[in-house]
A and B are shown apart, each in its own frame.
Chain A
């Protein structure tokens, strides 16, 4: 599975958009980009995933560059409850377990 690189921390003001970047320059054609977040010590929460097209759901938007080497998770109107560690995970079928490999993530702080 491809490795991902994320900034260790970011902050944004409440009500503004939070744009979280992720680099995955070694991604291969059949690998998906997944985003999860973990609020304090709760279980990781699924946010969104995509293969090559941009995706949007009720929580966020995922923008994947045309070469698929990077992506951005967008929380359109961040709230204090969005303060969490955000994990960008590239996931493919190189082994049979289809496990999620979590890196260090980005710690997002939403300021009042």
Chain B
């Protein structure tokens, strides 16, 4: 158990819909990262937050957005969903968000778009 929690575990929805994935980092960690794992793309970095502020963006679509709240939990919002958005979405956290930090991953949310 990494100490990172994600909800829900599974999500099934239809094309065109909007969903919100939630992540609670390990106690004391200030930085949250979101990753997407699809069958054809492998694990891809989406976005990083540090203490409520966006720090970096990866290959995140404009239909996707995220935020980190004052209590440090984070939400990833996915809108106008397409079939290709079906994937595992992982959240990770680290204490300072630096390159020497170890990132600890949550169990993921499996999103299925029908």
- A: residues with CB less than 8 A from B are 32, 34, 41-46, 49, 87, 91-93, 95-104
Q: Are B103 and A46 in contact (CB under 8 A)?
A: yes
Cα–Cα distance between A44 and B44 once the two chains are bound (Å): 12
Chain B, interface SS category:
strand
Known: A96-B56, A97-B55, A97-B56. Is A41-B45 also a contact (CB below 8 A)? no
Neighbouring B residues of A101 by C-beta, 8 Å: 45
- B73 sits at the interface (CB 8 A): no
Q: Are B90 and A44 in contact (CB under 8 A)?
A: yes
Neighbouring B residues of A99 by C-beta, 8 Å: 33, 45, 48, 56, 58
In the complex formed, the residue of A with least CB distance to B31 is: A98
Q: Are B56 and A46 in contact (CB under 8 A)?
A: no
- B: residues with CB less than 8 A from A are 2, 4, 33, 35, 42-45, 48, 55-58, 88, 90, 92, 97-108, 110
Number of A-B contacts (CB under 8 A): 65
Expressed in whole angstroms, the minimum distance between the Cβ of B55 and any Cβ of chain A is 6
Q: Are A98 and B99 in contact (CB under 8 A)?
A: yes
Neighbouring B residues of A96 by C-beta, 8 Å: 55-56
Q: Are B105 and A43 in contact (CB under 8 A)?
A: yes
